[in-house]
Amino acid sequence: MLGSKSINRPLLALAISAALCATGHASEQDNNATAKANLLLARMTQDEKISLVHGAGFFTSPIGGGGYVPGIERLGIPPLNYADSSSGINLAGKNTTPLPATLALAASWDPALANRYGTLIGHELRTLGFAGGLGGGTNLAREPRNGRTFEYLGEDPLLAGTLLAERTKGTQAQHVLGMAKHFAVNGQETDRFNSNSVVSERVLRELYLRPFEIAVKDGQPAVVMCAYNKVNGEKACENKHLLSDILKGEWGFDGYVQSDWVMAVTDTARAANSGTDEEEPGSPDDNQPGLMGRGTWFNQKLKAALQGGTVATQRLDDMVRRKLVMLYRHGIMDAPPVPGGQVDRAAGDKLALYAAESSMVLLKNAPKASTSQHAPLPLDAKRLHTVVVVGGHADVGVMAGGGSAAVPARDGNAVVCRTPGAKDSVIGIFDLCAIWHKSSPLEAIRVRLPGATVTYFDGSDATAAAAAAAQADATIVFATQYTTEQIDLADLSLPDAKRDPANQGYDQNALIEAVASRARNTIVVLENGTAVTMPWVDKVQAVLAAWFPGAQGGPAIASILFGEVNPSGKLPITFPASEQDLPQQAINTRNPDVDYDEGLLMGYRRYDAQQRTPLFAFGHGLSYTHFTYSNLHVTPYVNGDVSVSFTLANDGPRGGAEVAQVYAGLPADSGEPPQRLVGWQKVFLKPGESRNLSLTLPAARFSVWSDGWFVPQGEASLKVGGSSRDAHGLRASFTLGKRLLSAGA
Ligand code: BGC
């Protein structure tokens, strides 16, 4: 995938050491890393140690990244530059690849893609001289109005954790430090520096910490970023229970904890003694007010704390040792990244296209009842004479999310902002204007319809668009929903000019209603950062969630619409029928306490337990072919693992990939919601092909928390199907035996 000409020499040398690891020398290499780190540590002065545990200040990275820890030449410790890289590197002018948002990655349900996603980002980071990536967001989508939902991996802990582990492996195989963030329970942006997530230990363990646990244990990220918010009254970066007892203690995390930026740390001793190992962005002078006027904590103040004995020397050594071990383990000491390389744009585009095509979710595809023709998708170029395309700036590009996760548009922004220069009102650095990648869906549609008349309306005149739609064989309406760090959405409806003056010039819901009332076929394509409510859903024939689809969004959308690629994405978050169905009715802007008093009833767990019908269920996603499940067998093993096998057949007309999902219902008295995801497999089948699939589900996937992990005893069930609510899914019962897996901290 990565062009060989872009691989540099130190990397080749490192590839050899990676190959050695793969052949079983990993622990030896780790021992070496620790031994070397200890030797180096013994040579360091206290000032040198302190210089390694804080950044040099905001925007100080000489190569433009979000964080910078200068090196120590005398000791051969290279400078550490970190760049934001949620779905590509947030660095202007370097041709970095804007991949589809991480929420889209989650919608692919494809661990192999997650690995390639991480690999590409890691490779580009190293090519540009960065040792660490500030990506890897995995806060669960309890509150889909959270402005950062697009940066995370959905609402299910197993799906999110598995994909993050794979992404991390991909990045770290490129000898770049991988990351999991924001640890933990950083579920919304409102008042994010002060908010306090109040959550029970059981819910913490089973839901909000679980993706981190999976990613830390399976992916071994070098860095965990602790969050801004408080968790049960303690700042996440000053939270001994989270950082020392659980992360480093129970889970054995041997990397380092990096603070989130600006105001995650509020006290030197509390942060250091709780387990934070590096303060970012840091400052040359802790007493300078800095961006939010609160100063910093891990420079002169740390020195004073060491002198005063409130932070022990051993703790400073531990902070430094953790970092040095990671630098040795990931080959950064031996072959530091060298800035100045060229990103391989073609390789990036190739993955961006594949990832976008793998992640779009076909939510609805049904013929208009009154005319009962075929389903509107895939579009058949031979039968289309007139097509109308409306709105969403589809003539020029596709939307992307904002904040630190933004990836600059490589060829300039496709859309002129309606409020140029507008920034968020809290911190004043995040753009209210979206990035639009120059990748026009309209152009890609036109290419596929050389003989047809394709007319574009910009959406501002709903009446004109509707009149044209009435004459067209098909009408495709593009709708966009901008989301960004620092700002939560007021609701999940498609924004209008009032809600989002920077990016919207008209009422998108009214436009869709107007078009749908007259069109023969209305197809809605969403470029969305989270779930969307759809008051018009019964009036349109097809809905495609394209998410923020990245640099190749235009061609990817067209290839799905025309059936060159059969859609295979599945929802990683529930689309609620209304905000009333969410755990909190509204985001409280006055009370910093965010009570997670819904307990485990979050995401699909909530809809199932309360027997509510969502707009579109978790795991839902249609295909242009048809899959049938049969032959379900469940075998519990003596070691507590459960084996499940079934046959999946593609009995429809075309090839396609299905995400076969396995859900477990735990014994009735376990206090668990009706079902949880315990496994899945994404498989491509040719038309007429069937395959026997078998998955081994580790005992941990059936466990619940009560001062430790245990598997509850009793009658349980397994359900296999194409979504969490597949009416044609298969079900079988089996018996779980009680089993203690691990004791708590
Ligand atoms: C975000 C982090 C990001 C950091 C550096 C913070 O505001 O929460 O996710 O990595 O900024 O840009």
- Per-residue pLDDT reduced to its tens digit, 426-459: 989 999 999 999 999 999 999 999 999 999 999 9
Of all atoms in ligand 1, which is nearest to the CA of residue 192? 8
Q: What span, in angstroms and rounded, lies between the C-alpha atoms of 31 and 512?
A: 61
Range list of H helices, 562-709: 604-609
- Average pLDDT for residues 553-564, to the nearest whole number? 98
Q: How many CB atoms lie within 10 A of CB 590?
A: 6
* pLDDT greater than 70 at residue 261: yes
Average pLDDT over every residue of 531-556? 98
What b-and-e string marks burial along 288-325, b requiring 16 or more CB atoms within 10 Å of the CB? Answer: eebbeeebbbbbbbbbebbeeeebeeebbbbbbbbbbb
What's at 388, amino acid-wise? V
Confidence band of 30 (pLDDT split at 50, 70, 90): confident
Asked if the peptide bond before residue 182 counts as cis, ω within 30 degrees of 0, the response is: yes
Cα four-point dihedral sign 283, 288, 291, 294? positive
Is residue 650 within 8 Å of residue 688, measured between CB atoms?
yes
Helix (H) or strand (E) run with residue 223 in it: strand 223-226
Mean pLDDT of the chain: 95
Residue 313 CA to ligand 1 center (angstroms) comes to 29
Mean pLDDT of 137-147: 98
Which atom of ligand 1 lies closest to the CA of 137? 9
Please give the distance, rounded to the nearest whole angstrom, from the Cα atom of residue 405 to the centre of ligand 1: 8
| pLDDT at res. 26 | 54
In this prediction, residue 371 carries a pLDDT of 63
Mean pLDDT value across residues 538-559: 98
Going by pLDDT thresholds of 50, 70 and 90, the confidence category of residue 370 is low
Using an 8 Å Cβ cutoff, are 53 and 278 in contact?
A: yes
Q: Are 658 and 685 in contact (CB under 8 A)?
A: yes
pLDDT band at 12 (very low <50, low <70, confident <90, very high): very low
Average pLDDT over residues 116-121: 98
**Above 70 in pLDDT, residue 18?**
no
Q: Using pLDDT thresholds of 50, 70 and 90, give the confidence band for residue 535.
A: very high
Asked if 568 and 359 touch (Cβ cutoff 8 Å), the reply is no
* Distance between CA atoms of residues 462 and 251, nearest Å: 56
**Would you say the CB of residue 705 lies under 6 angstroms from ligand 1?**
no
What amino acid is encoded at 598 in this protein?
E
What is the SS3 assignment for 105? helix
**Residue nearest (by alpha carbon) to ligand 1 atom 7:** 261
User: What's the rounded mean pLDDT across residues 527-544?
Assistant: 98
**Spatial separation of the C-alpha atoms in residues 14 and 17, rounded to whole Å:** 5
Tokens 């953790």, located at residue: 322
pLDDT grade for 31, boundaries at 50, 70 and 90:
confident
* DSSP code, position 205: I
For residue 281, cis peptide bond before it (omega within 30 degrees of 0):
yes
Give residues with Cβ within 8 angstroms of 634, minimum separation 6. 642, 643, 644, 718, 732, 733, 734
In this predicted structure, the answer to whether residue 33 has a pLDDT above a threshold of 70 is yes
The predicted structure's pLDDT at residue 293:
84
pLDDT for 214 beyond 80? yes
For 400-443, give the secondary structure using H, E and C: ECEHHHCCCCCCCCCCCCCCCCCECCCCCCCECCCEEECCCHHH
Residue 313 has pLDDT above 80, yes or no: yes
**Distance (Å, whole) CA 708 – CA 32:** 33
Ligand 1 centroid–CA 404 distance in Å is 6
Q: pLDDT tens digits, residue range 316-338?
A: 999 999 999 999 999 999 999 99
Amino acid at 120: L
Q: What is the mean pLDDT of residues 277-298?
A: 93
**What percentage of the chain reaches a pLDDT higher than 90?**
93
- Under DSSP, the state recorded for 159 is H
Q: What is the reported pLDDT for 294? A: 87
The pLDDT of residue 504 is 98
CA–CA dist 22, 513 (Å, integer): 56
Q: Write down the pLDDT at residue 706.
A: 96
Helix (H, G, I), strand (E, B) or coil at 697: strand
Give me the residue label for tokens 């206290």.
46
User: Which residue's CA is minimally distant from atom 6 of ligand 1?
Assistant: 261
pLDDT of residue 13: 42
122 phi and psi angles, rounded to 5 deg: -60, -45
pLDDT of 74 > 80? The answer is yes
Tokens of 466: 């509707």
Q: Give catalytic residue positions.
A: 260
**DSSP symbols for 232-296:** TTEEGGG-HIIIIIIIIIIS---SEEEEPTTTS---HHHHHHHT--BBSSB-S-TTS-TTTT---
Best substitution site from 177, 190, 237, 261 to test ligand 1's pocket, by max atoms within 8 Å of Cβ?
261
Torsion of CA 626, 632, 638, 641, to 10 degrees: 10
The answer on pLDDT for 733 being more than 90 is yes
